[in-house]
């Protein structure tokens, strides 16, 4: 059997657009090209109907009212609109915000921006398993706390936060809760009819839809208000102006419809493959799983290969498309802030690889990946002075390392 | 990260990987860097009675350019006197391997490793009676 190279195991970065989604998108670019805001002719009406169908499809996946869905350009914009929009609208009620150190940069950088405007932000550290402790979260709430932002599924380690519990705490204290759900749609159920969440960010391209489109859920009962961040024609009930990209929206709708229909079977298959990968990699000495294994989406496996540096490992496994928490793969030269927030040593953060599986991953790909990784780790450990020291029984923490120049 | 062909060649086919007995008086060992920073280089030189570097070996934990930098210097060191070896500059290593600016620190580390190995070798050669403290502290990890 022939495999395609590289083997794609980076579905948490982005996914290919499902061919069934592409099929639905194409007519919107040619035949049905109308502006959904055009009320004066049939082309506009057709486009508007397509947009509303998609809105209902997105709402159906997360069990909310379609009128609670606002289209955006992606989860980054949704995070910005939710956090900056809510904080600025409710600034008269308080100036304190809460988030977590392992959030996506779209959340953390929005918080930083608000700090420059005079807001105060508490950045909570997660437990070593990556999960947020509800008691610590409760303690962080102040009388002037207006908004908390906690992601549903972490992009690096795949752990699922207990949003229901955190939302209940927020409700009881009159604090709005925003949840970044970019990594969770189609991977774990979301029921906004029961979840006490006020704002939730979605992305299409993490769930087999196109890039450049996302949505923000804005609760109607009790009603949540936002200061718009983009002003213009008053689209999306004034919360987000700009001509709606019909083809993108239709793509997101179809992607979310498929996610709803196929989530159960997809996840069962992907979990088997992920466990097969995990089992294979645990055959290698000195490997550590990052983040809780149980409260985690089935697609994600984040593993540190001790005594091997992540970037050189990625070079050695160039037939696999994966991500690393190594500093050397980032422009900042800092190892993954997520792994560091878990209390992982810099060494293990440097040695980490994120594998994320998806709809099109096959068993043959997983088996081949295991072989490639085993060989690469063996080769790089043969080159590693740290591996020799470990084999000689030297505790690397007892070594006085020369300061970096 | 787009690496030059030379980096890729050294990474794929590293030269002179291995270990000498660090207690051998003819061997100088330099270990620089730190695991927390993502790179550790161990460079060893074997020096003849005439003060010529006869052989060199390395082991490196680090990114592709750290492995390539250390592999390259083991090639350059062979046949050089200690004085000539000390003249190897990180800029030459970076230039030879066409390292991007973000990877220049790997070449700095390789230059440091040469210096540390020579300091270690010379500290073993101190004639009896002379204080070892006269030697500068090697910039190497101490066990």
pLDDT tens by residue, A344-385 = 888 888 889 999 999 999 999 999 999 999 999 999 999 999
Q: Quote the tokens at residue A295.
A: 């409260």
- Residues B35-64 have pLDDT tens digits of 888 899 999 999 999 999 999 999 999 999
- Residues A22-38 have pLDDT tens digits of 999 999 999 999 999 99
CB contact under 8 A, A309 and B61: yes
CB contact under 8 A, B40 and A401: yes
From the CA of A288, how many Å to the nearest CA of chain B? 16
Q: Which of A274, A362, A354, A369 is nearest to A316 (CA)?
A: A369
From the CA of A348, how many Å to the nearest CA of chain B? 9
pLDDT reported for residue A37: 95
Q: With both helix axes pointing from N to C terminus, report the angle between B64-77 and B5-12 in degrees, rounded to the nearest 10.
A: 80
- Residues A303-331 have pLDDT tens digits of 999 999 988 998 899 999 998 876 555 55
**Which one of B64, B141, B143 has the shortest CB-CB distance to A402?**
B141
Nearest Cα residue in chain A from B71: A383
pLDDT reported for residue A326: 67
CB contact under 8 A, A309 and B62: yes
Confidence band (pLDDT; 50, 70, 90) for B133? very low
The span from the CA of A104 to the CA of A399, in Å, is: 34
Q: Which of B113, B99, B94, B136 is nearest to B16 (CA)?
A: B113
**Which one of A326, A328, A388 has the shortest CB-CB distance to B59?**
A388
* Catalytic positions of A, written as ranges: 328
Q: What are the beta bridge partners of residue A145? A: A96
CB contact under 8 A, A401 and B141: yes
Separation in Å, CA A317 to CA A35, A327, A372, A381: 46, 17, 6, 14
Nearest Cα residue in chain B from A382: B59
Q: Indicate whether A125 pLDDT > 50.
A: yes
Q: Indicate whether A262 pLDDT > 50.
A: yes
The span from the CA of B18 to the CA of A385, in Å, is: 9
Q: What is the mean pLDDT of residues A237-241?
A: 94
Residues of A with Cβ-Cβ distance to B1 under 8 angstroms = 311, 328-329
- Residues A68-98 have pLDDT tens digits of 999 999 999 999 999 999 999 999 999 999 9
Q: Indicate whether B1 pLDDT > 60.
A: no
Q: Give the number of residues written for chain A.
A: 405
From the CA of B7, how many Å to the nearest CA of chain A? 11
**Which one of B11, B38, B67 has the shortest CB-CB distance to A327?**
B38
Q: Taking the model in full, what pTM does it have?
A: 0.89
Nearest Cα residue in chain A from B35: A347
Q: What percent of chain A has pLDDT over 90?
A: 88
Tell me which residues of chain A have a C-beta less than 8 Å from any C-beta of chain B.
Answer: 307-312, 315, 326-329, 331, 333, 335, 345-347, 350, 382-388, 394, 396, 399-405
- Give the mutation candidate from A317, A336, A401, A403 for the B interface (greatest B CB count, under 10 A): A401
């Amino acid at each position: 059997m022939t495999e395609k190279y590289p083997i794609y195991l980076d579905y948490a970065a982005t996914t290919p657009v499902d061919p069934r989604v592409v099929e639905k998108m194409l007519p919107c670019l040619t035949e049905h090209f109308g502006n959904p805001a055009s009320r004066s002719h049939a082309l506009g009406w057709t486009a508007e109907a397509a947009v509303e169908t998609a809105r209902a499809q997105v709402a159906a996946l997360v069990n909310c009212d379609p009128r609670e869905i606002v289209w955006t350009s992606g989860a980054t914009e949704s995070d910005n609109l939710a956090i900056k929009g809510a904080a600025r609208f409710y600034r008269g009620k308080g100036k304190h915000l809460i988030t977590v150190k392992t959030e996506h940069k779209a959340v953390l950088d929005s918080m930083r921006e608000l700090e420059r405007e005079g807001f105060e932000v508490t950045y909570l550290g997660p437990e070593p398993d990556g999960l947020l402790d509800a008691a610590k979260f409760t303690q962080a709430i102040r009388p002037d706390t207006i908004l908390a932002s906690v992601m549903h599924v972490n992009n690096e380690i795949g752990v699922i936060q207990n949003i229901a519990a955190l939302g209940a705490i927020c409700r009881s204290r009159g604090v709005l809760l925003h949840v970044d759900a970019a990594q969770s749609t189609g991977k774990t159920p979301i029921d906004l009819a029961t979840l006490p969440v006020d704002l939730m960010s979605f992305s299409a391209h993490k769930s087999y839809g196109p890039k450049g489109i996302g949505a923000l859920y804005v609760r109607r009962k009790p009603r949540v208000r936002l200061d718009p961040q983009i002003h213009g024609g008053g689209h999306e009930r004034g919360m987000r102006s700009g001509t709606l990209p019909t083809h993108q929206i239709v793509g997101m709708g179809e992607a979310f419809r498929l996610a709803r229909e196929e989530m159960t079977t997809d996840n069962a298959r992907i979990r088997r493959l992920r466990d097969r990968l995990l089992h294979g990699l645990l055959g290698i000495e000195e490997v550590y799983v990052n983040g809780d294994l149980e409260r985690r989406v089935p697609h994600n496996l984040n593993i540190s290969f001790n005594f091997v540096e992540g970037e050189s490992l990625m070079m050695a496994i160039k037939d696999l498309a994966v991500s690393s928490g190594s500093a050397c793969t980032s422009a900042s030269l800092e190892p993954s802030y997520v792994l560091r927030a878990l209390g992982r040593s810099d060494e293990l953060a440097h040695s980490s690889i994120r594998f994320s599986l998806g709809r099109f991953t096959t068993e043959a790909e997983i088996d081949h990946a295991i072989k490639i990784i085993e060989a690469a780790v063996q080769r790089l450990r043969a080159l590693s002075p740290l591996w020799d020291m470990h084999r000689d029984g030297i505790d690397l923490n007892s070594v006085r390392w020369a300061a970096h120049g | 990260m787009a690496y030059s062909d030379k980096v890729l060649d050294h990474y794929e086919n590293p030269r002179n990987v291995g270990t000498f007995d660090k207690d051998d008086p003819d061997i100088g060992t330099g270990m620089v860097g730190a695991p927390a920073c993502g790179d550790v280089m161990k460079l060893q030189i074997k020096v003849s009675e005439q003060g010529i570097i006869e052989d060199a070996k390395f082991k490196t934990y680090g990114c592709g350019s750290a492995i390539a930098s250390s592999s390259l210097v083991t090639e350059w060191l062979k046949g050089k006197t200690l004085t000539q070896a000390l003249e190897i500059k990180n800029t030459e290593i970076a230039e030879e391997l066409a390292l991007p600016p973000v990877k220049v620190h790997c070449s700095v580390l390789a230059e440091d490793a040469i210096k540390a190995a020579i300091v270690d070798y010379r500290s073993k050669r101190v004639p009896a009676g002379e204080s070892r403290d006269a030697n500068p502290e090697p910039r190497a990890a101490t066990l």
